[in-house]
Amino acid sequence: MLTLSCPYCGVQCDETELAAGGEAHLKRYGPESSPEEFESYLFVRENPKGVHLERWRHAHGCGKWFHAARCTMTLEVFGTYPAQTLAPPQELVEKILAKRPGWTWREFGQSDMEGAQA
C-alpha cells in the first residue's frame, strides 16, 4: 500500500484516502496555442521509469491538492510538497539526485528548478 504524507494536515495517508491527479508541473496552454502545445499539455506524458513528480488530492481528508516525488519502479517516496509552486523544492531535488544521479524532469533542467524556487 502506497502511503504519502499530506503537507497540509500532516496526516500519513494511505492510497485509498487519496485521489491521484497525474503528472505535475504541466504547462497549461491556453487560447492561441498551437496543436503541439495543446497535445503536450493534454496528452503527452513523461511516464518515466524512475522518479515521477505528480499531483495528489487528500480526497478523504483535508481535500487539498499537493505534489509528491515518487519512484515508479520501487514506489519509494522522496517527499511531498504543497501545490502552489512551479517546481519541487531544492532540497527535495538534491535528495532525489543523491540517490538517482542524472535525474532530469521534462523540459526544465536543473537550473530552471533552482530559478523557480528563488
Partner 1 sequence: MRRFSAFAIAREAARYHTGWERHWRSPEPKKKYDVIIVGAGGHGLATAWHLGKHYGITNVAIIEKGWLGGGNTGRNTTIIRSNYLQDPSAAIYEKSRSLYETMSQDLNYNVMFSPRGVIMLAQTHHEVRGYKRTAHANALQGVTTEWIEPARVKELCPIMNIDGPRYPVLGGLWQARGGTARHDAVAWGYARACSDMGMDIIQKCEVTNVRTEAGRVVGVDTTKGAIDCDKLGMVVAGHASHLAEMAGFRLPMESVALQALVSEPIKPCMDIVVMANTVHGYLSQSDKGEMVIGGGTDGFNNYTQRGSFHHVEETVRALNETFPILSRLKMLRQWGGIVDVTGDRSPILSKTPVEGVFVNCGWGTGGFKAIPGSGFAMAELMAKGASPLTDEFSMYRFREGKFIDESVAAGVAH
Residues that bind partner 1 (CB under 8 A): 1-2, 15-16, 19-20, 22-23, 35-36, 38-40, 42-49, 52, 54, 70, 72-75
d(CA 80, CA 89): 10
The residue range among 2-10, 48-56, 77-85, 89-97 that interacts with Zn ion, by the rule CB under 5 A, is 2-10
CB 69 within 8 A of CB 51: yes
CB 70 within 8 A of CB 50: no
Q: How far is the CB of 118 from partner 1 (least distance, A)?
A: 28
Closest listed residue to residue 41, CA positions, set 55, 30, 52: 30
Among residues 2, 62, 97, 116, the one that binds Zn ion under rule CB under 5 A: 62
Under the binding rule (CB under 5 A), the answer on residue 69 touching Zn ion is: no
Give the N- to C-terminal CA distance of the chain in Å, as an integer. Answer: 35
Q: How far is the CB of 62 from Zn ion (least distance, A)?
A: 3
CB nearer to Zn ion: give 81 or 105: 81
| Per-residue contact string for residues 39-58; x = within reach of Zn ion by CB under 5 A | -------------------x
The strand pair at 19-23 and 3-5 is best described as: unpaired
Quickly list H helices, 9-117: 35-42, 90-99, 110-117
CB nearer to partner 1: give 64 or 106: 106
